[in-house]
Amino acid sequence: MSSQEKISSGSEDFLALCHAQLHSLDCSINMDWAGVYLAKQDIVGKPQLFPAIIYPERGRGASLPPSSIDQGQYIIHFQENYLTRRANQIALPLVNQGEILGVLLVVRDQKNWTERELQQISSTAEVLSLARKLDLNYTRSKAEALYLEIEKANQEKYIADLLHQLKNPVTALRTFTKLLIKKITFQGDHEQALKGVVRESERIVELLQGSSANSLNNREVNLLPQASQLKLKNLSLESILVPLIDSFSLVAQEKGLDLSYASTENLIQVKADSRALTEVMSNLIDNAIKYTSAPGKIFITTETQENWVRILVTDNGCGVSLVDQPYIFERHFRGEKTQQEIPGSGLGLAIAKELVEQMQGKIELLSPSYVLADNQGESAGGSTFIVWLLSSTADSRSID
């Protein structure tokens, strides 16, 4: 039976309610038999009626239950509160908000109907109309939920297969690049570029390996580490920032930008997860390059403040409008200007915020930033994203 046929025929609960209602009606008016006929559309879209339940299963009187009833009589001309009599047969439409859902047919060969009996039949039809509408809504919702569940499972299978298939070519790319570095003598920035390829391919491999250990079987696909998976330990900021700046400096140069890094002191250490912090800083530096036009500047600096370390990523690009700033860390949010001019998913800053908070830190935005104006004599503008992380010597506590 198809899902559409299941919806049309009525659920077991609805049929049980019909049986109970017809039994109660029989006790009140002593009918020969009654039937609930449900409406459905045929293949050309015309309304049809079919018997859902007959009570009792074999009629008591001379008139036996029909397998179908006059379609034109009970569908085409039905309106709300319309009563049809044919000898001692009464039919009432099951109607809800103008929609014909079916027909209640009651037959008795002896005695005429009293007003009280007609009222009881009408009340039964009202109950069955509401019950049928609720049953349809519930059954359709279940069918839609099942369809979405199947679609979700198919998508997750596709993602899992894709992630698995990506591992081999990325691993091969990393291996081939390492061999090139060993066997070829380079000039200029060529070696630095290839080392950047190795670093980024290793990062992709780590993400893909993490996805295998993640909860794909629990219907949750997340390539980023969860809070329970983060391993906070003392890290040298330089060990994270310098390789990233080496990789992004070539991208910045291609765009005509100046990317620089400075620190107020040497060997600053923070409590962080290496993979998570790399992801955070990659997103922030990538954003700064993306939203800065040539000839522009991107300035990264670090400094300690009591138990905290500040990492500032500053650019003199287009900045973030005051209207957009309250939403800038929301998933998939992109300002109207950037939406039109610069491609992106609107996920980078949301991911950065989530990971920083999982490392017991905080991320802030200052725009216009004034940092480059103060430090390098440039006019104020652009944005500064400030990442606060606990220093390696600090106890875990809130920024406040």
Q: Confirm whether 125 is domain-assigned.
A: yes
Taking CA 210 as the corner, what is the angle to CA 170 and CA 333, rounded to the nearest 5 degrees? 90
The pLDDT of residue 58 is 58
Whether pLDDT at 364 is above 90 = yes
Q: Confirm whether 222 is domain-assigned.
A: no
Q: Confirm whether 326 is domain-assigned.
A: yes
Q: Confirm whether 191 is domain-assigned.
A: no
Whether pLDDT at 196 is above 50 = yes
Nearest CA to 363 among 351, 347, 380?
Answer: 351
Measure the CA–CA gap between 133 and 130, rounded to whole angstroms. 5
Kindly report, residue by residue over 243-286, the tens digit of the pLDDT.
888 878 878 888 899 999 988 777 889 999 988 998 899 889 98
Whether pLDDT at 5 is above 50 = no
Q: Confirm whether 384 is domain-assigned.
A: yes
Number of domains in the chain: 2
The winner for highest mean pLDDT among 40-54, 159-173, 252-266, 333-347 is 252-266
Q: Confirm whether 106 is domain-assigned.
A: yes
Lowest mean pLDDT among 60-74, 264-278, 377-391: 60-74
- 0.95 exceeded by pTM: no
Instruction: Please report, for residues 115, 159, 222, 365, the alpha-carbon distance to residue 212 in angstroms, rounded to integers and kept in the order given.
Output: 72, 11, 10, 34
Shared domain check, 368 and 249: yes
Question: Of 145, 162, 197, which residue sits at a domain end?
Answer: 145
Question: Of 145, 167, 200, which residue sits at a domain end?
Answer: 145
Q: Confirm whether 347 is domain-assigned.
A: yes
Shared domain check, 245 and 127: no
Shared domain check, 234 and 141: no
For 246, the token pair is 């080496």
Question: Of 145, 170, 193, which residue sits at a domain end?
Answer: 145
For 155, the token pair is 């998508």
Shared domain check, 247 and 127: no
Measure the CA–CA gap between 85 and 73, rounded to whole angstroms. 11
The pLDDT of residue 362 is 95
Residue 93 belongs to domain with CATH number: 3.30.450.40
Shared domain check, 250 and 125: no
Measure the CA–CA gap between 218 and 152, rounded to whole angstroms. 12
Shared domain check, 350 and 247: yes
Q: Confirm whether 151 is domain-assigned.
A: no
Q: What's the average model confidence in pLDDT over 374-396?
A: 75
Kindly report, residue by residue over 291-315, the tens digit of the pLDDT.
888 888 999 999 998 899 999 999 9
Shared domain check, 245 and 112: no
Shared domain check, 133 and 254: no
Shared domain check, 235 and 383: yes
Count the helices and strands in the chain (H runs, E runs): 10, 12
**In the chain, pLDDT over 90 holds for what percent of residues?**
24
Place 390 in a pLDDT band, splitting at 50, 70 and 90: very high
CB of 351 within 8 A of CB of 279? yes
Whether pLDDT at 89 is above 60 = yes
Segments forming the whole domain that contains residue 84: 3-145
Residue 316 belongs to domain with CATH number: 3.30.565.10
Shared domain check, 136 and 41: yes
Residues 6+ apart with CB under 8 A from 79: 93
